[in-house]
Amino acid sequence: MLPGEKVVGTRCGAGLDCINPANMAGADGEIIGVDMTQEIVDKVQRNVAATGVKNVTIKQGIFEELPVDDGWADVVISNGAINLAPDKGDIFGESNWVLKPGGCLQVTDIVVDKLISEGARRNIDLLTV
């Protein structure tokens, strides 16, 4: 992350994937965090407010239809989000749309080498801590 960059953080969790880039991008940077549940959006907004960071906005939305303009972002951060998408191609396609030419998709995710049962994929207790 460079000073002044515009960043989209997906699947916000506790908000660290928004707060850390906000500090790195500085006052001229802009961070938009996106999560699909209002509960997480509210949690991240509280955590961001507690840090005093001013350049973060949290929006409700999904990775397949990010609520930012095409070509807006310098960086899209995906930390543990792609594995949850039924169609991974949609994720990469949407990232391509919102990134500026030469932008960067930063990915950290889970990779498995065998099929996970439908029951295990839909078991919320296995996906949350």
Residue 129 has pLDDT above 80, yes or no: no
Q: Which domains does the chain have, with CATH numbers?
A: 6-127 (3.40.50.150)
pLDDT at position 56: 96
Percent of all residues in the chain with a pLDDT value above 70, rounded to a whole number:
98
pLDDT at position 123: 85
pLDDT band at 40 (very low <50, low <70, confident <90, very high): very high
Residue 88 has pLDDT above 90, yes or no: no
pLDDT band at 109 (very low <50, low <70, confident <90, very high): confident
Question: What is the SS3 assignment for 1-68?
Answer: CCCCCEEEEECCCCCHHHHHHHHHHCCCCEEEEEECCHHHHHHHHHHHHHHCCCCEEEEECECCECCC
Q: What φ, ψ does residue 70 adopt, rounded to 5°?
A: -60, 140
Structure tokens that stand for 118 in this block: 């439908």
